[in-house]
């Protein structure tokens, strides 16, 4: 797991975007906490999780969606399409 984390006092909070990771983390939490306590010689370390809000960005799949995205980002693409009479579906 290569997730972001924060450290506040003796609590390590692991941040994640996917709710499925909760189950995965719960399986290793006790073992990881014991390992950290032993290696850091600190019996007060606690582990916590925080689910971050998922981004609501629309995924781009079709050629038309890809073209519209690029045309919005770079208006010259739309001009090029009109000048060359290109069809973004092909």
Token pair of 82 as six digits: 């009109």
Query: How far is it, in rounded angstroms, from Cα 48 to Cα 63?
Result: 42
Q: Given this model, what pLDDT does residue 72 score? A: 92
Give the N- to C-terminal CA distance of the chain in Å, as an integer.
Answer: 40
Q: Given this model, what pLDDT does residue 85 score? A: 86
Residue 16 Cα to chain centre, angstroms: 7
Q: Given this model, what pLDDT does residue 38 score? A: 93
Q: Give the mean pLDDT per block of 10 residues along the chain (90 residues).
A: 82 84 85 92 90 74 88 91 82
Q: Do the Cβ atoms of 67 and 81 come closer than 8 Å?
A: yes
Q: Given this model, what pLDDT does residue 1 score? A: 60
């Amino acid at each position: 797991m290569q997730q972001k984390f924060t450290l506040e006092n003796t609590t390590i909070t692991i941040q994640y975007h996917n709710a499925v990771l909760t189950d995965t983390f719960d399986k290793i939490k006790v073992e990881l906490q014991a390992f950290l306590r032993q290696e850091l010689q600190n019996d007060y370390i606690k582990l916590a999780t925080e689910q971050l809000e998922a981004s609501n960005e629309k995924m781009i799949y079709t050629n038309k969606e890809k073209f519209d995205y690029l045309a919005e980002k770079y208006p010259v693409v739309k001009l090029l399409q009109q000048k060359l009479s290109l069809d973004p579906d092909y």
